[in-house]
Amino acid sequence: MTASYEIKEPLLTLDDVGLSLAGRQILRGVSACVRNVTRPGVLQGQIVGVLGPSGIGKTQLFRLLAGLTSPDQGKILVGAQQKPVARGHVGVVGQAYPLFEHYTLLENLLVVARKHGLSRAAAREQAENMLARFGLADRASAYPATLSGGQRQRAAIAQQLLRPSPLLLMDEPFSGLDLAMVKEVCRLLSEVSTQSEELTIVIVTHDIAAALSVADTLWLLGRPHTADGSAPGARIVHTIDLMERGLAWHPDVTHAPAFETTRREVERHFASL
């Protein structure tokens, strides 16, 4: 099932990132790199799944990647130019899928498009194209309160993709969804990843199977163990390359023998994170 691909320049770099809150070490020595992956004849972005037990520091890592919090040490660089991450320059889709409730769906998208420098005509064209791409064209004049949870999620993703950003962060996009909706969100994220060669999507989730279904790389966040127990501060203790295992970019990947083997491997790692 392995597809032909080439790994190129860095698009997201975490270099020895550390963070303490209220005197407690939350993250320590977090280092990782996402590189541009290209495939012949395919626009191919990157999808990274961040997994780890509750309370390990996933939320704080999410905030650092979004530029909402500054690390105490280290640096986070984004895009092909490897610029320091900055608040407002990263696409963020949280669990609440916030939209302006007093604006229609189209107006919500227009606000973002106009904010990022597009003319009125160009903003409308891009917003309408985005609604069509996400199957929301018939809801353009609807208000957020009338949308289903799935429609709000699609709208929130569409809104963020109108930002000129190489990084899209998603917090628990599978939370509370039934199996059919999880599959639909995985399909949507796979489609979104083909928006741009340089787009990196980082998904923070507890759902191992969903992350395996959609990601090309997994980062497992945990605390390193010493002779005296676990050290303070979490870091990325395991990186799993799903491309190398032939588990990336396949809509029916759950049927591959390596899928179940990898799922059990991640579950075993969880016991020691």
Q: For the chain, which domains are there?
A: 6-90+166-270 (3.40.50.300), 100-164 (no CATH)
Q: What are phi and psi of 226, to 5 degrees?
A: -120, 180
pLDDT of residue 163: 81
pLDDT of residue 171: 92
Span of 4-13, 176-185, 231-240 with lowest mean pLDDT: 176-185
Mean pLDDT of the 187-200 span: 89
| This prediction's pTM | 0.90
- Banded pLDDT at 184 (limits 50, 70, 90): confident
Cα→Cα distances 162→15, 112, 116, Å = 28, 7, 8
Q: What is the pLDDT of residues 210-250, one digit of tens each?
A: 999 999 999 999 988 776 666 789 999 999 999 999 999 98
- Banded pLDDT at 1 (limits 50, 70, 90): low
Mean pLDDT of the 168-172 span: 93
Q: In angstroms, rounded to a whole number, what is the distance separating the alpha carbons of residues 212 and 195? A: 21
